[in-house]
């Protein structure tokens, strides 16, 4: 298993949510691991800031191309953006489901569980990245502010359970997903289990953020947003830029291993630490 490429399945509520794990996905895509992004919704009801801003104007001053844009057209625009963003990180497998957002509620769209179960049985991922289903739960999760996110987590957790169970007439073997991680962006960083150094993908993250033009983003905003968030998380992790993660449950290991990042803490000086965060090459 040590030399086997990993299979990742990433399930998020909206197209933009994938940015929170994009750097990590880029690292693993470069390593030869397979990665599939699945958006639970098209995001047609989410982050249409252009329309919101246009409707603030007097009717006679409104841009008709924005005000009269259909939900289908907006969804298609977001789909194209997501596929371009995925390509920026070497991800070629992208699925956009047509469940309704704002709100996405599992009880109203219970078919979503079955759809994700089928993806699990098809992909048989070693690792799932998804949004946390907990309002308050493991590691002191920050209260959720977006119902679509927690409901996506609920759908994935239910689908994982059903994928483990055999069904009468089923031709494919049941499958247990070995590990599930939640993006650290939904948690207080003191509760992370680990952080991934994504400094090598900082510019990709900026480029990706700027690609969401349907949400009003541009390069200046993208660089500011990504720099603040990844930079803040990186400072805590001791690197220029980082993405944090929380495990659904503990792992069993044959022995304790420490990363090179952790090991060097035993000998580095305060100046070394500052250089690490600044991204300076040490000699």
List Cα–Cα distances, 160 to 119, 127, 132, 174, 178, in angstroms. Answer: 10, 11, 14, 10, 10
Residue 256 has pLDDT above 90, yes or no: yes
* pLDDT single digits (tens) 185-241: 988 888 899 999 999 999 999 999 999 999 989 999 999 999 999 999 999 999 999
Q: Which CATH architecture has domain 7-253?
A: 3-Layer(aba) Sandwich (3.40)
Phi and psi at residue 40, to the nearest 5°: -65, -30
* pLDDT single digits (tens) 11-21: 999 999 999 99
CA proximity to 38, closest of 74, 103, 82, 89: 82
Spacing of C-alpha 46 from chain mean position: 16
Tally Cβ neighbours within 10 Å of residue 93.
14
**Angle (nearest 5°) at CA 101 between 174 and 148:** 65
Residue 136 has pLDDT above 50, yes or no: yes
* pLDDT single digits (tens) 24-45: 999 999 999 999 999 999 988 8
Q: Which has more pLDDT, 3 or 231?
A: 231
DSSP 28-58: HHHTT-EEEEEEEE--TTS--HHHHHHHTS-
Helix (H) or strand (E) holding 7: strand 7-12
CB neighbour list of residue 157: distance below 8 Å, 6 or more residues apart = 133
- What percentage of residues in the chain have a pLDDT greater than 70? 94
pLDDT attached to residue 281? 66
Residue 142 has pLDDT above 60, yes or no: no
pLDDT attached to residue 250? 92
Q: What is the pTM of this model?
A: 0.91
The domain locations on the chain are 7-253
* pLDDT single digits (tens) 148-186: 999 999 999 999 999 999 999 988 999 999 999 999 998
Residue 144 has pLDDT above 60, yes or no: no
CA dihedral 15, 20, 26, 27 (to 10 degrees): -160
Residue 141 has pLDDT above 80, yes or no: no
**Angle (nearest 5°) at CA 79 between 37 and 110:** 60
* pLDDT single digits (tens) 69-128: 898 999 999 999 999 999 999 999 999 999 998 888 887 888 999 999 999 999 999 999
Residue 283 has pLDDT above 50, yes or no: no
Ramachandran bin of 168, using left for φ above 0, alpha for ψ from -120 to 50, beta for the remaining angles: beta
Residue 2 has pLDDT above 80, yes or no: no
């Amino acid at each position: 298993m040590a030399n086997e490429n990993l299979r990742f399945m990433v399930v998020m509520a909206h197209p933009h949510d994938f940015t929170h794990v994009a750097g990590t996905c880029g690292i693993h895509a470069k390593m030869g691991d397979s990665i599939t992004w699945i958006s639970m919704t098209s995001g047609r009801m989410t982050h249409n800031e252009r329309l919101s801003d246009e409707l603030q104007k007097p009717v006679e001053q409104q841009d008709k191309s924005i005000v009269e844009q259909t939900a289908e057209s907006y969804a298609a625009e977001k789909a194209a953006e997501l596929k371009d963003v995925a390509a920026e990180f070497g991800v070629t497998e992208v699925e956009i489901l047509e469940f309704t957002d704002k709100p996405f509620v599992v009880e109203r769209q219970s078919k979503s569980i079955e759809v994700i179960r089928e993806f699990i049985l098809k992909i048989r991922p070693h690792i799932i990245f998804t949004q946390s289903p907990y309002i308050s739960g493991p590691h002191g999760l920050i209260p959720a502010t977006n119902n679509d996110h927690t409901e996506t987590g609920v759908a994935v957790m239910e689908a994982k359970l059903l994928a483990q169970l055999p069904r009468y007439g089923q031709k494919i073997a049941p499958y247990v997903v070995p590990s599930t991680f939640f993006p650290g962006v939904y948690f207080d960083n003191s509760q992370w289990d680990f952080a991934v150094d994504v400094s090598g993908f900082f510019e990709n993250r900026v480029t990706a953020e700027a690609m969401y033009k349907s949400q009003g983003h541009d390069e200046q905003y993208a660089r500011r947003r990504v720099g603040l968030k990844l930079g803040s998380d990186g400072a805590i992790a001791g690197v220029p830029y980082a993405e944090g993660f929380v495990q659904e449950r503990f792992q069993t290991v044959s022995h304790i291993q420490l990363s090179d990042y952790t090991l060097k803490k035993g000998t580095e000086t305060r100046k070394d630490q500052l250089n690490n965060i600044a991204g300076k090459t040490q000699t």
